[in-house]
Amino acid sequence: MMSKFLSRARLIAYLPGLKTLRSTVLCQRSFSNSVLQKQCNEEERKTNEGIDWPDTKLGPLSEHDKRFSLPGNVGVVTQLKQQPQPIAASPDQTTYDVLYKPLRHDRHAAVFAQFVNAVSESEESAEEFMKEAYKNPKNILEMIAQDCPPSLVKGFSELFPDVDLSKGHVTILTLCQKTNSDMSGWSSEVEVEREELLENFITSAVEICKSLTKAGFWADFIDPSSGQAFVGASNPNTTLFETDERFRKLGFEIEDLGCCKCVRHRDWGTHIFVGTLFTNAPPDCDEMKEIMFNGME
């Protein structure tokens, strides 16, 4: 089960867990070429479907409409009434005048209303998913792709010495896994669960970076065990662990326990494992949507 919420600078997805993401990205990468080709063919078919050629947008290449005999595609009322142009509307009407054709602002209003409804439905779906998640003891994975706060760009640039993050867009993708154990303490159970989550995260993150790189973007992630870049060159003098204070600006809380610090989720408390990826792919680009949502419906 999965829910999603999309905005201009923030993309959120909820999945059953890192195991699901790991298996999905591996399968997705194996069949990515055939899937993308199929999607392109389908989009092309939908684009061409229902178009009457020649297309009026082609200007001089299109066939002239005899009803508009005057310059500037202007016609007289008698001519228009003699040859009514039907358009899609209510079923009880049989003929229409061109003046009934929706105006541009009408179409804009309709598209905006559809967008508002879609966002509302997404928010409601996310809320319903979280309610069900609390009833189900299974692990939950929260994926959030968001624009990097400008105040953090310079500091994060030091993590990747061979990349200048100050030039261009920077997106941070956080993978937050709800855990069975309380990660604020230590026990054999905590260690075993963390090692398993670490393995699943690294496998998933490597495949995600490969997918984004193949699409023409730069992507790298932080190894939670070392706090340094995994794919490209790393800076031994700079690290980023999940208890770093900068995570506060990414939506997490950092709790000081006296002897140590721990990261806290707004809903799951300290029952979490956090992994972080960096890329210059925008949060709402097609490649990011495919990674987070494809095959999860």
Per-residue pLDDT reduced to its tens digit, 260-281: 899 999 889 999 999 999 999 9
Please tell me the distance from the alpha carbon of residue 272 to that of residue 125, in angstroms, as a whole number.
Answer: 22
CA angle 281, 287, 289 (to 5 degrees): 105
> What b-and-e string marks burial along 205-215, b requiring 16 or more CB atoms within 10 Å of the CB?
bbbbbebbeeb
pLDDT at 77: 55
- List CB contacts of 38: < 8 A, sequence separation 6 or more: none
Percent of the chain at pLDDT exceeding 70: 55
Please tell me the distance from the alpha carbon of residue 155 to that of residue 225, in angstroms, as a whole number.
Answer: 20
pLDDT at 6: 46
pLDDT at 15: 79
Please tell me the distance from the alpha carbon of residue 121 to that of residue 26, in angstroms, as a whole number.
Answer: 30
The amino acid occupying position 87 is I
pLDDT at 99: 53
CA distances from 205 to 100, 175, 183, 256 (A): 54, 9, 21, 28
Boundaries of every domain in the chain: 3-27+125-293
pLDDT at 230: 96
Q: Which residue has the tokens 């070392």?
A: 226
Q: What global pTM score does this model have?
A: 0.63
Half-sphere exposure of 231 (CA within 13 A, CB side): 21
Please tell me the distance from the alpha carbon of residue 245 to that of residue 205, in angstroms, as a whole number.
Answer: 23
Q: Are 36 and 287 in contact (CB under 8 A)?
A: no
Spatial CA neighbour of 177 closest among 221, 215, 138:
138
- List CB contacts of 229: < 8 A, sequence separation 6 or more: 159, 160, 220, 221, 222, 223, 235
pLDDT at 43: 63
Three-state SS for 261? strand
> What is the enclosing helix (H) or strand (E) of 272?
strand 272-279
pLDDT at 140: 84
Q: Are 43 and 37 in contact (CB under 8 A)?
A: no
For 40-93, what is each residue's pLDDT tens digit? 566 655 555 555 544 555 445 455 566 666 666 666 655 445 555 554 544 444
Which residues of the chain fall below pLDDT 70?
Answer: 1-9, 19-20, 22-109, 111-139, 294-297
pLDDT at 7: 43
